[in-house]
Structure 1
Amino acid sequence: MAKKSVGLGRGLSAILEEVEEAYQNDLQDKSGLVIEIDIDRIKPNPLQPRKIFDDASLQELATSIEEHGLLQPILVCEDSKDTEHYFLIAGERRLRASKLAKKDSIKAIVVDVQEEKLRELALIENIQREDLNPIDLARSYKELIEDYGITHEEVAKRLSKSRAQITNTLRLLELNPDVQNLILENKISQGHAKILVTLSKDEQSLVANSVIGQKLSVHDTEKIVKNFKENKDSKVSLSAKIYTQSSLNQDSIIALNKYCDTLKSYGIKAKIQKNKCIVEFSNDEEVKKFSKILPI
């Protein structure tokens, strides 16, 4: 089938509307927007916002493609320097899963896009159509704002989202890198992250490791952070707290060890003993120091 490219003459909003229409009608598409392209002619998207792909999820999608075919085409544009090949704009999960399913070709919509608009289109299309991890989503918002000099309000308008949603998601980038990685790895949720972002960088890691080690809910985490803030400047008595789990998986053991190591870095005596992190105090000053890290 001869290809019919979607043009950018009416701007990005117009192209996204045409792509959406093609997505909805691709099973009986007669317009020429949806074509079959050899998979080996498609180059990876250098602007892909998603950084981590879950292997199990990809295999599930590959199995679905084997059984039912690809239900939603990918989005590509021609390589201006090599017209026999295409750059992937959106649909990397679908492309990867199709390769796993040993497919030789894939449904695609070819976009006639100006090079300077490729980045913006890739970001917007991925944000709108992919279930991005919150950190990847925040990074995509940040790229739109910084690369195109637009405001939170303008991003919200372009993506049909509230300004508060844009701002709250961007705040996740204030988390320290270790905690951001925990979100990328789906070890803590966006709900936990929204609470952790109100803490200092060091405190974020301590509480995050507690969330993982003790499998704390968002509500439990909220209470811990609230008590921590309320008790920061209050007088504390000599005491100790033991964090324990009767049965720990490997991630929890790693988190528990990290937690104890962080305490030691503050000069607090802590040790692992039979899946317990035991904290010992020699004087009131050590207790006060501990209370500034985590509520007792």
Structure 2
Amino acid sequence: MKPSQFAKGFQARPDTTSSEKRTALDRLNAIDGLVKNGAPTGDVPNRVIQPVLSQDVAELEDADIANESAAYRAWRIEHAYRPGQVIELALKTIKPSPFNPRHFYLKASIAELAVNLAKQGQQQAIHVIPDYDNPGTYFVSDGGRRVRALKEANKESVKAIVIDLPIGIQSYKLGYDLNVQRDSQTVFDNAVVWKRFLDDRHFQSQKELAEHLGLDESTVAVALSIAKLPEVVMHEMVARPDRFGSNMAYQVGRYHTARGADATLRLINKILSDDLSTRQVADIVKGRASAQESTKPAGRQRYAQRLEIKLGGVSVGDLKSYGDDRIELRLKGLTREKRDDILRQIEKMLK
């Protein structure tokens, strides 16, 4: 599909109101919950998995049918599909949407999910949109991480719900709002995708983009300034959303403009190793923006390897190795019981 065709999605339907968008989110969440709790989990290729619909969800589906687009209705009739049904599709027919709100997918996260899917199977269906110009293929609307993990696990099919959305700003907004609900949308995803929207002339200005997204123009401006960073630099921050929000990333971007990529990577390491605040980084930027690079402090040694430590999916610290004979373990936010248990285990290992 050509860029000019992508833009059609922006005008395919009027922008939804807040209440309409909320209803769309509630509908998808309701169907997801229904599938997760009531649908069979066995893999049955090329079959429709029929969920037992509650009255509320059935009413939502009736409303969908009354308001569906002509293209979706034709596809649905051709495939004898009812909104909300979970079907199995070949993974090779699934492709990313040009309006996917996510850009960064961490390899470690995908690998972890792949192991889980290999053991337990797919518990939640993805949402896809038919590519009407290329019959038999589908764009991912929600579930890009699951698709990548299923491929990593060498699966050949995916459970999916086929939804009625144009590929464009409406599908982007819906995916964006779903990701915000899950805390999986990052300022770095926004930076790359919003810059692409402007580069491809889907919007004429950052003001127009902000208006379409319902955001302050300053929020968009900050993200676009971060988009100037090389992806190799952004990758170093994406893995630590607890340390690199929009304000911290903005200061890192300012530093990069003055100092370049290598110095910026060293600054990122310093932020993590010294637990610097945004204010401290801002002071570094102001003090060094026009000065020559200072000599690295004596005794400061960069770690050779760093392992992030999580408990219950939440980052609590890291383990760093230096040279051939030194390691540092730094943990915080533990319960007293967990702390004492870790201390006992370390003591036992060292005896």
Q: Give the structure 2 partner of residue 38 of structure 1.
A: 88
Q: Give the drift of 1:227.
A: 3.0
Structure 1: give runs of 5+ residues left out of the alignment: 1-7, 253-272, 276-296
The residue correspondences of 1:71-86 to structure 2 (distance < 5 A) are 71=124, 73-86=125-138
1:203 CA displacement: 1.1
Contact 1:35 1:108 in 2 (8 A): yes
Distance (whole Å) between structure 1 residues aligned to residue 232 and residue 257 of structure 2:
10
| Aligned equivalent of 2:162 | 109
The corresponding residue for 2:187 is 134
Match of 1:228 among 288, 308, 311: 288
Q: Summarize the Cα distance change of 1:18–1:208 in structure 2 as closer, same or farther, 3 Å threshold.
A: same
* Equivalent in the alignment of 2:266: 209
Q: Secondary structure at the match of 2:274?
A: coil
Note if contact 1:76-1:86 (Cα within 8 Å) is conserved in structure 2: yes
Aligned CA distance change for structure 1 residues 139 and 11 (closer, same or farther; 3 Å): same
Distance 2:171 2:238 in 1: 20
User: Contact between 2:103 and 2:192, CA under 8 Å: does it hold in 1?
Assistant: no
Structure 1 CA distance for aligned equivalents of residues 111 and 324 of structure 2? 37
Q: Deviations over 1:24-58 (max 9, x none)?
A: 32114432432212230642115245343223323
Deviates more, 1:98-107 or 1:73-82: 98-107
Distance in 2, matches of 1:9 and 1:204, equals: 42
Return 125-134 or 185-194, whichever deviates more: 185-194
Does 1:52 pair with 2:104?
A: yes
Matches within 5 A, 1:171-186: 171-176=225-230, 178-184=232-238, 186=240
Which region of structure 1 is more displaced relative to structure 2, 167-176 or 95-104?
A: 95-104
The reply to whether residue 158 of structure 1 matches residue 158 of structure 2 is no
The equivalent of 2:334 in structure 1 is none
TM normalised by structure 1 equals 0.62
Q: Deviations over 1:203-251 (max 9, x none)?
A: 143143143157233424333223325x849xxxx98732513x82336
What RMSD, in angstroms, separates the aligned Cα atoms of the two structures?
A: 4.1
Paired residue for 1:19, among 18, 24, 27?
24
Tell me which residue corresponds to 2:298: 242
Q: Provide the secondary structure at the position in 2 that maps to 1:244.
A: coil
Q: Distance in 2 between matches of 1:240 and 1:162?
A: 40
| Residue pair 1:192, 1:218 contacting (<8 A) in 2 also | no
Question: What percent of counterpart residues are identical?
Answer: 16
Deviations 1:238-265 (A, max 9, x none): 98732513x823369xxxxxxxxxxxxx
CA distance 1:112–1:126, change in 2 (3 Å): closer
SS at match of 1:199: helix
The structure-2 alpha-carbon separation of the partners of 1:210 and 1:108, relative to structure 1 and needing over 3 Å to count, comes to: same
Question: Could you tell me how far apart the structure 2 residues matched to 1:21 and 1:78 are?
Answer: 21
